[in-house]
Structure 1
Amino acid sequence: MSEIVGLVALSHSPFATLMPPSGSDDPGGTFLADVHRVRQAVSRLRPSAVVVIGPDHFHANFYDAMPPFVLGVEEAVGFGDFATRSGPLPVASDLAWSLRDGLAAAGFDLSLSYSLTVDHGVVQSYDMVVGNVALVPLVVNTAAPPLPSMSRCISLGTALGDVLRAAPFPGRVLLIASGGLSHWLPSNDPRDPSVVGERRFSVIHGRQDARAFAAAREPRVRAMAGNPSAPVNAEWDRWFLKQLSAADLAPVVDLGDVGLESQAGSGGHEIRTWLIGAAAVRRPLVWTSYEPVPEWITGMGIGATFPVD
């Protein structure tokens, strides 16, 4: 039987790798210093595998076929966007297949990938927290509707925890949830009248040439960086961390998608990864850190279900 040793949930941002702080007092300095502390604590837990729950940002999934959940079972390849790692990542394939079979038996028909491309939404947090420990990537659609409901994500997390605890994998498993917190992004919804022309074509047909699509999109994202007035809702972010510290997810679910987006922006939908991880581990966060970093367009939060100091 495998053992769940804990959960690390943390924000990601392209600018954490593109424009890291030069000192601890610069924007993002607190966040990265605390990530380093978390990494040291994780090393003491000695995980033999990690389940990384993260989103895709139109580098692998497009509207030609937009799955709510995708599980990688054999190969995982980093896309290399925004200065994150590119190329093959080590996959805990036996554990991945146990999760696929167990989740199917629990009523979750996840999309399956023998060769899964993952972008900074998975790779950045994975590299920050553990590095080269074998992983099982679980990609959640948080980018554009139709999104899996928050309650469905919690149900998936509950089933994931059950399956992990019953899995024959003889090791210690850490969960990593990557995403959020509050940030406001341009719409990616093809139904939105502002998503037109080449941009609309790309979110639907981008799989035809994902590299070209990314090359066209990346400068637009880079242009968003460095604005100290970019919208971040620090009050809501801290409230969300308190809910997970109290293991009380119901008020978050009660917001619904409209309420969540009004408080945390369209990028706030990424908290679905945190909800899945929290439901799976069934432990409250016992350590948190938070820094609003408008220069990175994101509220940068971290939570762990084990002591960090």
Structure 2
Amino acid sequence: MGGRWVEEYGRSSNLQFFLNCTTPAVEMRVLPKMNGRSSNDAWHHAEMDSVEYFNLADLWEQYYEWSAYGAGATVQLYGGERVVQYYVPYLSGIQLYTNKSLTASRSFVAENGMDFWSDDEDNEKMSRSWSSTSEDSLFNCDAIGGNRRRHGHLYFEFFEVCSPYGRIPLMDKVYELSQGFPGLTSLKSVDLSPVSWMSVAWYPIYHIPYQRNVKDLSACFLTYHTISSSFQDYTLENVANGYCPAANWKPNDELDKKTKKTQLAPFGLAAHKLQGSLWTNPRTGDHERLVSLFGAADSWLKQLGVQHHDFNYFITHPM
């Protein structure tokens, strides 16, 4: 290695470049308070003069170009050369808990073209339908049965189980699912309980300029994001190492001052095919960050009683 490359590599974090390029930034709006309560009965915000929120439609819009062309992350290779690796986002998992019961509260899983759902607003029929459908169901309803009311009303959940080659990009999947569940695009973040979350799977498609035999560029990632306005008021007990997802949900001062935006930085992360040291520069604390983010994702899923298919695959097939 040349001394110049060692110096440059010491300052570079490919992992951080990836996270920066795949973190959505959504426009924040203001919901005024009316007659002692917010105009939308926002979750835990009745005492505030106003509530900041974002529309789920605006969140999905952030993935429009990424879904069509891929999100480009700059990666510095071992020899010092930089390439732009493009990743396509796929909706890996999502749970939307609302602060009040909506018309339909349903569970959806894509597996062999079959849909399973329940219209019971307290989700007890859903628990029975899942247990009778498959012993390997992707959601363990009994595990959080005692905490359902604390979480809110489960409006919608989806867990992808298809092979990456059989999936459609995130924006297309959201559009497809919203045909049956319009709340996916019409709900506001203030409508959602603090435990509402989503996971995005990022799979590499190509890099520019092309490099032969760079196996480390085949790495895949799962990012986990909370999507409620109120999770900063909520503390999930015993999150790994005292990690608080709310710490990553904050305005980005570098964005346009005229339009206030908030970055939904991932609170959790899992990786697949993460070989070598390309993504874990010892000089930038990447390994420790990966461990912390993985622990937070693992703790979150366990405490919600969720069996996340992609997460389980990643941890059982690390290479």
- TM-score interval, smaller chain: under 0.3
Question: Highest relative contact order (Cα 8 Å, sep 6+), 1 or 2?
Answer: 1
Higher percent of residues as helix: 1
TM-score (norm 2): 0.26
Structure number with bigger Rg: 2
